[in-house]
Amino acid sequence: MLDLKLFRKEREKVIKALARRHVDVDFNTLFALEERLRAELSELEKMRREMNGASAEIGRLVREKKDASYAKVAMKQLSTNIDVVEASVKDFKARFSEAALVIPNIPDESVPDGESEADNKVVRTWGEPPVFDFEPKTHVELGETLGILDFKRAAKMSGARFVLYRGTGARLERSLISFMLNVHTAGGYEEVLPPFMVNRKSMTGTGQLPKFEEDLFKVEGGDYYLIPTAEVPITNIYADEIIDDVQKLPVRMCAYTPCFRREAGSYGKDTAGIIRQHQFNKVELVKLAKPEDSTAELESLTADAESILQKLDLPYRVVELCAGDLGFAAAKTYDIEVWIPSQKKYREISSCSSFTDFQARRAGIRFKRDKKAKPELVHTLNGSGLAIGRTVVAILENFQRADGSVSIPEPLRRYMNDREFL
């Protein structure tokens, strides 16, 4: 959620900054609601002062043993009027909050202009895509031939966009989770294992609600949602809290969780294989940082995610998203894209973002520079470290061999009973 003081003090600057996103923002409704809310609050404050004056006047009349009945009737009417205005204030606050919660974050000034992913900027590449002396297979072909990916039985029990890992395929998935967590915890991240269901407040805090409700799986009969990413529960660990020791910042946390997404609006995209699933596993990195450190922390978080691909010897590139391609809550984002031989292109495997104070304002996450200081909002950051299924895709396709087998990256072999091939 944006700092609403900016709308009052630097309205044109905010409008110009959000115009870079090339999305429709209903500023007129927001500003009209804000003006009406401020007018109602002013009227309520005036009436409460009158109420205090009337109460004092009744007290004086009673002490002087004078007739206070007229004053009491007037005070009762004033109390009724206050109830009406308070209800109106409550209504306008709700409507204003609803309008404000769907306004995206302001892009960082360093983010390049652009309307879509076609305008994103390649920052760097690492490694060389493999050159095969045979026709490479897709991960679907490899997985089914090796007997490690079973799409038909997954569809039988759950439907489209699910996969059943079997044998060494399941072992590979588990090995990647352990490997990534071990790397990140050795790098200073605290491992956490959060709930896989959260409430509406938590989803609102990180920006999934109210705008993206159609993308979420809601638990029927309760105020619970299956998490679309570990970003939601991990960030909300500190919701409505004040970190009273600035030395604790940055807070670095990582977690493995399954993720659940409806993939609304993605019909027809990546329908084959495990690129885009309703359920998938991911290791997530989350940071809470001081505002002045968030730029550097985004660079280091991105490097931490990259380190996994480097250790696995998977070729990739880092892309800086233009303003028009930024996610709703992000102020700046780097996408890490791994090479997929069958598609002859790079595909996203991690998205590393700084949200500045956007999420912290919604979730109420603050810190103090010292015990006497006024609380400030932290800056939140997160990124995949990495998406497990897409890492499996990259391993199968980049390390396939002419005989249909797949070389297991050396760092994973100790997790797989020293196997060298699938």
Catalytic residues: 261, 276, 348, 351, 390
| Whether the Cβ atoms of residue 81 and residue 50 lie closer than 8 Å to each other | no
Decide: 298 and 352 in contact? Cβ < 8 Å. yes
| Alpha-carbon separation of residue 120 from 27, 123, 129, 328 (angstroms) | 27, 9, 21, 16
Could you tell me how far CA 184 lies from the centroid of its own chain? 19
Residues sharing a CB contact under 8 Å with residue 264, sequence separation 6 or more, in sequence order: 214, 215
CA distance 165 to 151: 9
Q: Distance (Å, rounded) from C-alpha 67 to C-alpha 332?
A: 68
Between the CA of residue 398 and those of 131, 136, 251, what are the distances in Å? 9, 9, 35
Instruction: Count the neighbouring beta carbons within 10 Å of the beta carbon of residue 403.
Output: 8
Q: How far is CA 49 from the centre of its chain?
A: 44
The alpha carbons of the chain give a radius of gyration, in whole angstroms, of: 27
Cα angle, residue 411 at apex, residues 408 and 414 outer, rounded to 5° = 85
Compute the distance between CA of residue 198 and CA of residue 282 in angstroms, rounded to an integer.
Answer: 17
Alpha carbons 349 and 383: distance in angstroms, whole number = 10
Nearest of 384, 385, 395, 390 to residue 186 by alpha carbon: 385
